[in-house]
Amino acid sequence: MQTAKTLKEYRKELRESLDNEFLREAMDKFATAYPVSRANAFRGLDEKAMIAEVADAKDAAAKNMDALYAQFKAEAEKRGVKVHMAKDAAEANEIIARIAKNSNCKKIVKSKSMTAEETLLNHRLEDDGLEVIETDLGEWIIQLRHEGPTHMVMPAIHLSRYQVADLFSEVTKQKQEVDIQRLVKVARRELRQHFATADMGISGANFAIAESGTIGLVTNEGNARLVTTLPRVHVALCGLDKLTPSLNDALKSLRVLPRNATGQAITSYVTWITGANECKAAADEKKEMHIVFLDNGRRALAQDPLFSQVMRCVRCGACANVCPVYRLVGGHKMGHIYIGAIGLILTYFFHGKDKARNLVQNCINCESCKSICAGGIDLPRLIKEIRARLSEEDGAPVEATLLGKVLKNRKLFHTLLRFGKFAQKPVTGGTPYLRHLPQMFMKDHGFRALPAIADKAFRDEWETIRPRVSNAKLRVALFSGCVQDFVYPEQMKAAVKVLASRGVEMDFPMDQSCCGLPVQMMAERQATIDVARQNVMAFDAAKYDYILTLCASCASHLKEGYPNILAGQQDMAGKVKLFSSKIIDFSSFVHDVLGMTADDFKGKGEKVAYHSSCHLCRGLGVVEQPRALIASSGSEYCPAQEEAVCCGFGGTFSMKFPELSKELLDKKLNNAEATGATRMVADCPGCIMQIRGGAEKRGSRMRVGHIAELLAENLK
């Protein structure tokens, strides 16, 4: 559970996680094993279509939540169940405590329920003097340790077998051996007595099917079956988001949920409970059954035009499984109660902005979660939106406001950047890096060398280097982005050389400015909108076949982000649509549009590794083109481990969380160097800034640059 009050406190906690060697090793193993088992589980299936079906079904159910609740209640009550509605966590807990009291229950066995974690149900019941025993193995372990879960599906993933053996030794008052198979058997035996003697069983629900008043439970251990069978009273606590009209819709989610959660085609048990079943422990041999639906903000969320998609979450935990930040810091630091990307969002809505304020900063915007979400939720976008809301509600930090103000005025921004090259003189020592940053800037940032501002910006050279082309078949406008304009103009020049070799006519509209992603990451909503308008207006998109950028982050922001950002601007509707439709990244343009092949290049056989930038491979879905181009350039492409895992830059993220950025960068460099490559290329100047800075700092023999430079050097 994340409770730090300030970013400083939060960063201190993050450092503690980074120092936890067992956690780091366990998380690394998981992070590399999960994508393989997930891919196996989806092999031969149309994953995207399956996810889209879940999204559609859940969207429809969310819209219809009230009617589905009414139908469910009527059907379940026909079958002897009492259905309750709780407006918030406290009311849900109160209802369940009252049921326990009225039915004279003393001992309660529970199967896993994230919803009960959300309401902190156990605390309330224990305050009433009830004995509550978690029976899911992982939940039991963390209950005994008085901790919250660190994963929605594997709650005790942060603990080692040694810790569990010690814990079980305490519980049984017998020395237990450190052997997982035997520890599991100890739990089997120890918990069986509690099933046998409990008065009440509490479960969650993965589905609530309205047409039959049925709840569905998806489990592996079999404890939920005992919890819902043996005690005379059963209470199911269920979020309103679990309502679904029919078995058909439930089966659609069931096809994706276990595959996404644990790489299983289905869990060992899926249990469908309709009505108050036979129960020989009850006086009338009939179970006393209650279903408590929890609102806690869900009904309002379901009506929110943007955030209603949160209701699609099936609680598979996959957004944590693939999150590079979760991998570093674990669930106690990557969530309050709900964990991972969805956890950052749900914390804001279910547990309030005080709990969410620091957490939502801890997203590197790599889009890994979005690419695997079982409900197709645009998690990174929602996280950025929450940052913007928090910043509007609470006021933004000075640096964000300042950057926002500067970016809104393109001329001022570019003047400051030009001025930078004079101001930096004392710290570059004549090299392309900032060598002697004052201590106040360097603290925690020493893991990479930061680049200096170039002597001459690309925009200032454009008129002199611009190729004069006649009878061009293709007209392209260049969007440089700030980094390539002012820091790495040589990357732009390389691209110009490659395009010119094929007779492409190029323009560089001078009114273009920063794409605006950095201010969006810093939650400056108005500045984000203003620079988006500025850029769309700067390009007369109709004049060009393509608008080309060498920056994957810019490309993804211009193409996917702008239509959302400018959605409310009537006068921009047609313009932004046209603008975004023309955006293309460098590798796709050269490979797909120009169709350049090995015939165009003379190779030197250099060994080249590739970093697959987040916003290229996930943001734009560009995967094969750059790899094919490396090979075409006459170089030897050397595949590295985890090519598509974030390099740790994340724009402003690396400034806010340098300790996390460093860890990700180290992994990236280690994996690339292990291939024996002497050069590494990427499609994004931000990634290059990060990786090159790290390579420089550790004295790596690997050169790091843009793929355009590799191609330009090897042109025939």
Partner 1 sequence: MSATNDLARLMREKAEAVGATVVELKNLKEAFAYALDVCDKKEACQLLVSGCEEKLSDKAEALCETKQEKVVAAPNLSEDEYAAFSALCAERGVKCIREGLRGHLAGIDIGVAHADMAIAETGTCVIDSTSEELRLSSMISEIHMAILPKSRIKATAFDAEREVNALINTGTPRYTAFITGPSRTADIERVLAIGVHGPLELHILMLED
Residue 183 binding partner 1, by CB under 8 A = yes
Q: Which residues contact 84 (CB under 8 A, 6 or more apart)?
A: 95, 290, 291, 292, 293
Q: Which stretch binds partner 1 (CB under 8 A): 93-101, 151-159, 470-478, 643-651?
A: 151-159
Closest by alpha carbon to 536, among 571, 504, 501? 571
By C-beta, is 199 or 485 nearer to partner 1? Answer: 199
By C-beta, is 130 or 276 nearer to partner 1? Answer: 276
Q: Which stretch binds partner 1 (CB under 8 A): 188-196, 460-468, 566-574, 583-591?
A: 188-196
Binding mask 282-321 for partner 1 (x = CB under 8 A): -----x----------------------------------
Min dist. Cβ of residue 136 to partner 1 (A): 7
Specify burial of residue 621 (Cβ count, 10 A radius: 0-12, 13-18, 19+).
exposed
Interface residue with partner 1, options 221, 530, 663, 673 (CB under 8 A) = 221
By C-beta, is 267 or 484 nearer to partner 1? Answer: 267
For 33, 442, 645, the CA distances from 348, given in Å and listed in that order, are 30, 33, 27
Interface residue with partner 1, options 267, 296, 368, 625 (CB under 8 A) = 267
**Residue 189: phi, psi to the nearest 5?**
-70, -45
By C-beta, is 164 or 684 nearer to partner 1? Answer: 164
Q: How many chain residues touch partner 1 (CB under 8 A)?
A: 79
Amino acid at 571: D
Residue 272 binding partner 1, by CB under 8 A = yes
Interface residue with partner 1, options 182, 425, 436, 716 (CB under 8 A) = 182
Closest by alpha carbon to 53, among 323, 255, 262? 255
CA-CA-CA-CA torsion sign (363, 367, 372, 375):
positive
By C-beta, is 212 or 671 nearer to partner 1? Answer: 212
Interface residue with partner 1, options 120, 247, 594, 598 (CB under 8 A) = 247
Q: Which stretch binds partner 1 (CB under 8 A): 276-284, 324-332, 361-369, 412-420?
A: 276-284
By C-beta, is 198 or 346 nearer to partner 1? Answer: 198
Min dist. Cβ of residue 264 to partner 1 (A): 8
Angle between helices 525-538 and 398-408 (to 10 degrees): 20
Residue entry with tokens 């939940």: 139
Residue 276 binding partner 1, by CB under 8 A = yes
Q: What angle do CA 659, 662, 664 make, to 5 degrees?
A: 115
Min dist. Cβ of residue 160 to partner 1 (A): 6
Residue 193 binding partner 1, by CB under 8 A = yes
Per DSSP, which regions of 174-239 are E strands?
200-203, 207-209, 214-219, 233-239
Residue 145 binding partner 1, by CB under 8 A = no
Residue 280 binding partner 1, by CB under 8 A = yes
Min dist. Cβ of residue 221 to partner 1 (A): 4
Q: Which of residues 73-102 bind partner 1 (CB under 8 A)?
A: 78-80
Residue 509 binding partner 1, by CB under 8 A = no
Residue 237 binding partner 1, by CB under 8 A = no
Residue 577 binding partner 1, by CB under 8 A = no
SS3 content of the chain, % helix, strand, coil (to 5): 55, 10, 35
Q: Which stretch binds partner 1 (CB under 8 A): 198-206, 251-259, 552-560, 690-698?
A: 251-259
Residue 188 binding partner 1, by CB under 8 A = yes
Interface residue with partner 1, options 60, 70, 74, 196 (CB under 8 A) = 196
Residue 166 binding partner 1, by CB under 8 A = no
Min dist. Cβ of residue 177 to partner 1 (A): 9
Q: Which residues contact 476 (CB under 8 A, 6 or more apart)?
A: 499, 504, 505, 506, 507, 544, 545, 546, 547, 548, 589
By C-beta, is 107 or 577 nearer to partner 1? Answer: 107
Interface residue with partner 1, options 64, 274, 308, 409 (CB under 8 A) = 274
Residue 543 binding partner 1, by CB under 8 A = no
Min dist. Cβ of residue 54 to partner 1 (A): 14
Residue 20 binding partner 1, by CB under 8 A = no
Residue 190 binding partner 1, by CB under 8 A = yes
Q: In what order do the strands lie in the sheet with 636-637?
A: 636-637, 607-611, 679-682, 703-706
- Rounded to an integer, what distance in angstroms lies between the CA atom of residue 544 and that of residue 478? 10
Q: Both ends of the chain: CA-CA distance in Å?
A: 58
- Rounded to an integer, what distance in angstroms lies between the CA atom of residue 480 and that of residue 525? 22
Q: Which stretch binds partner 1 (CB under 8 A): 174-182, 432-440, 468-476, 646-654?
A: 174-182
**Residue 443: phi, psi to the nearest 5?**
-50, 130
- Rounded to an integer, what distance in angstroms lies between the CA atom of residue 561 and that of residue 346? 22
Q: Which stretch binds partner 1 (CB under 8 A): 268-276, 402-410, 455-463, 505-513?
A: 268-276
Interface residue with partner 1, options 43, 146, 175, 411 (CB under 8 A) = 175
Residue 150 binding partner 1, by CB under 8 A = no
Residue entry with tokens 């250099």: 606
DSSP string of 443-508?
TTTTTSPPBPPPSS-HHHHHHHHPPP-SS-S-EEEEE-HHIIIII-HHHHHHHHHHHHTTT-EEE-
Q: Which of residues 22-81 bind partner 1 (CB under 8 A)?
A: 26, 29-30, 33, 78-80
DSSP string of 581-648?
HHEEEHHHIIIIIS---GGGB-----EEEEE--HHHHTTS---HHHHHHHHHTT-EE---TTTTS--S
Q: What angle do CA 464, 467, 473 make, to 5 degrees?
A: 155
Residue 264 binding partner 1, by CB under 8 A = yes
Residue 658 binding partner 1, by CB under 8 A = no
Alpha helices in 263-359 (DSSP H): 298-303, 318-321, 324-329, 340-346, 353-356
Is residue 620 within 8 Å of residue 651, measured between CB atoms?
no
Q: What angle do CA 2, 400, 348 make, to 5 degrees?
A: 30
Interface residue with partner 1, options 2, 150, 244, 271 (CB under 8 A) = 271
Q: Which of residues 666-685 bind partner 1 (CB under 8 A)?
A: none
Interface residue with partner 1, options 105, 273, 313, 617 (CB under 8 A) = 273
